Amino acid sequence: MAFTGKQLTTRLDADGTLTVQIVPKTWDAPTGSQVLVQVEATPINPSDLGLLFASADTANAVYSPGKVVAKMPEGATRAMAARHGMDMPAGNEAAGVVVAAGDSPAAQALMGKRVACVPGTAYASYAYAEAGMCLPVDESVTPAQAASSFVNPMTALGFVETMRLEGFTGLVHAAAASNLGQMLVRICQEDNVPLVNIVRSEEQVALLKGLGATHVLNMTEPGFQAALTDAIHETGAMLGFDPIGGGTLAGQILAAMEASASRGAAFSRYGSSVAKKVYIYGALDLGPTILNRAFGLTWDLGGWLLTPFMAKAGMETVGRMRARVARDLTTTFASHYKAQVSLEGMLEAAAVAEYNARRTGEKYLVVPTA
Amino acid sequence: MAFTGKQLTTRLDADGTLTVQIVPKTWDAPTGSQVLVQVEATPINPSDLGLLFASADTANAVYSPGKVVAKMPEGATRAMAARHGMDMPAGNEAAGVVVAAGDSPAAQALMGKRVACVPGTAYASYAYAEAGMCLPVDESVTPAQAASSFVNPMTALGFVETMRLEGFTGLVHAAAASNLGQMLVRICQEDNVPLVNIVRSEEQVALLKGLGATHVLNMTEPGFQAALTDAIHETGAMLGFDPIGGGTLAGQILAAMEASASRGAAFSRYGSSVAKKVYIYGALDLGPTILNRAFGLTWDLGGWLLTPFMAKAGMETVGRMRARVARDLTTTFASHYKAQVSLEGMLEAAAVAEYNARRTGEKYLVVPTA
């Protein structure tokens, strides 16, 4: 039995032309431990956009129904030589119904059920998924509620696990009003983890305060650096997570940690010896990271990514995290979307302009069945 | 019995005035496990300059015999509030003769001997030192040969130990023509550690090639980035040490590591999963560190400092490192100086202008007995 439908593909050619389009596709019946999921809802996360459009000039692209052709900058084209000429599917995660299953008992057990899954090919009518990676959800859970049950929830839980693994006792989070940031606020409340939230507007301050967050700082306000230092001093939060990447913020967080650690301490020309660390886990700002190194010589800045974290944390921890997500999917791990679009709607100029700007509170949900 | 002489002190006042001067001082006889060393030679290392002058405007300072008064920028003055109003001694390391000793057998055993030591107060006629931290040197070793037996040798050995501790198998070193860099070239030859040296001129290339270094790259040449990637690919060197700090170099090293790790690999939107790390261990350039993050999400940048490294490495490793320094002081760990000056000569405008510029090959040695 075969299933016919549509799939989004993205192709970068060596000449810098990026083509994102919806093409017809047929899926054969799955085998072994795989299931075939009819995709009902799939979010557009920043981690998807890096593959979908990367740094292509979508403002000056050519849009036709179900197709976008854009120009990629020369440096980025060169850096992505390994994908030249390949029509790549995209879409990390989704919710949908299992319409066919391989022979394995685990796959067969999922037949007809709604699951959350991580196929990596979710911008499509159907997607293959490993049965063991699927999360069956209750009848009462909608596709929209189940669509984002992997990337954001596991990342937010991963921050807290990383904190514990590395011996820190509090967190600083930038761009904290995002869906992920709101999850982190709720997780930290449940787990009694001190959290300093950094946001970019008074509306976002109000949003997080409304969730019961204690420390919410507006980085566009004068006095932000002093307020950040105070909040870090009060919470002892010496581990930060920053999805922005570009600009001075990561360095400002380290400087505030250093200023807190140095309070009342004797002068040291090398700075404090208290461990302080910031992880960059995204690239909302593709510009350079600028570190004004006012934080001594005991500091650390690194990249953070979910997959290697899970490999390091191990099966038991990951299993515990997934069980928590399944249990609290519609509460702690609830997501919000600005708009729902079809596969074709996803490639309209106005939609691309909005979701590709990666602004907080403007996340899109794709509904391939629409 | 008391010893009279002179000592350099540096004081930063809250109004931003930095006063570095030579003042008379009397040393009482040492007690317990301490010895009193008559300082014969003490180097001016970059790590000393951070305390001596920091970012003060030495070009427009007022120089009088044995005294410099300079203006510190406002931000730096504020950042160093913990040292306001204090006359602080300086000078990390020295060589000299033990002229008095406390009662402990270890101290008594050093009487009359020439030692290398790490008093932290070496810009003076005399300095107290812990007997256990003193390294007795052979009669045939001159003060100039013994003066730099701690900071640079232990730092260079510390790089190799850090590499082993963290599971890396090769090193990249920036500003590699320095005294420290030359030591590292010799250590890596002796230990068969692949080393990629980054320097800033053809003279420096020739200098390191003359020592037998295999990979020496001039960062001012066009094609540097490609050559760096090739050298990293050939050596597998995924750990870098950078004393410059400011500018784009640390990020360029990470980008070259990433480009090497991605060669021949399938495309990944998150970059390669190979661990890559750069430590910033100095601030030859006080400007911001600028990271053009073309190196995926598996990377790490941190500060490196000798003291916490030694604490982490443990007594046995540190003991082994010190024994090696003592054995090879005049060969592997030989240092070179551009000029020798007295304590007063150290505070003359022309001398300050030269050594405070921290240029490779322009290190000064202070001879307080001159």
Q: What are A132's two structure tokens?
A: 């063991």
Q: Tell me the C-alpha distance between B177 and B175, whole Å.
A: 6
Angle A205-A276-B118 (CA atoms, 0-180°, nearest 5)?
150
Task: Check residue A249 and give its pLDDT.
Answer: 98
ipTM: 0.87
Closest chain B C-alpha to A127 CA, distance in angstroms: 20
How far A186 CA sits from the closest chain B CA (Å)? Answer: 26
SS3 state at B3: strand
First to last CA, chain B: 23
Going by pLDDT thresholds of 50, 70 and 90, the confidence category of residue A264 is confident
- Write down the pLDDT at residue A265: 81
Chosen for mutation from B276, B291, B307 (greatest number of chain A CBs closer than 10 Å) is B291
What value does the mean pLDDT of chain A take? 95
- Give CA separation, A292 vs A228, B140, B250, in Å: 16, 46, 14
Q: Are A21 and A66 in contact (CB under 8 A)?
A: yes
* Residues A81 and A20: beta-carbon distance below 8 Å: no
DSSP label of A175: S
Among A51, A79, A262, beta carbon nearest to B82: A262
**Which helix H or strand E contains A262, and what residues bound it?**
helix A249-262
Q: Nearest 5°: phi and psi at B343?
A: -60, -45
> For residues A158 and A306, is the Cβ–Cβ distance under 8 A?
yes
Tens-digit pLDDT profile for residues A271-296? 899 999 999 999 889 899 999 998 99
CA distances from A291 to A90, A185, B95 (A): 33, 27, 37
Within 8 A by CB and 6+ apart from B335, the residues are: B43, B145, B147, B148, B152, B179, B363
Contact criterion met (CB below 8 Å) for A195 and A215? yes
Distance CA A359, CA A187 (A): 23
Alpha carbons B117 and B130: distance in angstroms, whole number: 8
- Token readout for B154 is 């232990």
Query: Does B302 contact A299 at a Cβ distance shorter than 8 Å?
Result: yes
pTM of the model: 0.90
**Looking at the complex, does the CB of residue B323 fall below 8 Å from at least one CB of chain A?**
no
Of A246, A290, A296, the CB nearest to B303: A296
Instruction: Give the C-alpha separation, A143 to A41, whole Å.
Output: 6
Distance CA(A303)–CA(A283), nearest Å, equals 11
Q: Print pLDDT tens along chain B (370 aa).
A: 799 999 999 999 999 999 999 999 999 999 999 999 999 999 999 889 999 999 999 999 999 999 999 999 998 898 888 899 999 999 999 999 999 999 999 999 999 999 999 999 999 999 999 999 899 998 899 999 999 999 999 999 999 999 999 999 999 999 999 999 999 999 999 999 999 999 999 999 999 999 999 999 999 999 999 999 999 999 999 999 999 999 999 999 999 999 999 987 877 878 899 999 999 999 889 899 999 998 999 999 999 999 899 999 999 999 999 999 999 999 999 999 999 999 999 999 999 999 999 888 889 999 998 8
Distance CA A17, CA B304 (A): 43
What are chain B's domains?
3-148+335-366 (3.90.180.10), 151-310 (3.40.50.720)
Here the tokens at position B310 are 């030694």
Token pair, residue A7, equals 């799939």
Q: Which two tokens stand for residue B235?
A: 């050596």
| Exposed / middle / buried, residue A212 (Cβ in 10 Å: 0-12, 13-18, 19+) | exposed
Contact call for residues A178 and A243 (beta carbons, < 8 A): yes
Q: Give phi and psi for A166, each to the nearest 5.
A: -100, 5
Q: What percent of chain A has pLDDT over 70?
A: 100
Q: Cβ(A297)–Cβ(A272) under 8 Å?
A: no
CA distance B272 to chain A (A): 11
Q: Identify the bridge partners of residue A23 per DSSP, sorted by sequence position.
A: A7
Q: CA quadruple A145, A146, A147, A151: dihedral positive or negative?
A: positive
- Chain A contact for B269 (CB, 8 A cutoff): yes
CB atoms within 10 A of CB B261: 23
**How far is it, in rounded angstroms, from Cα B296 to Cα B282?**
25
The answer to whether the beta carbons of residues B302 and A299 sit under 8 Å apart is yes
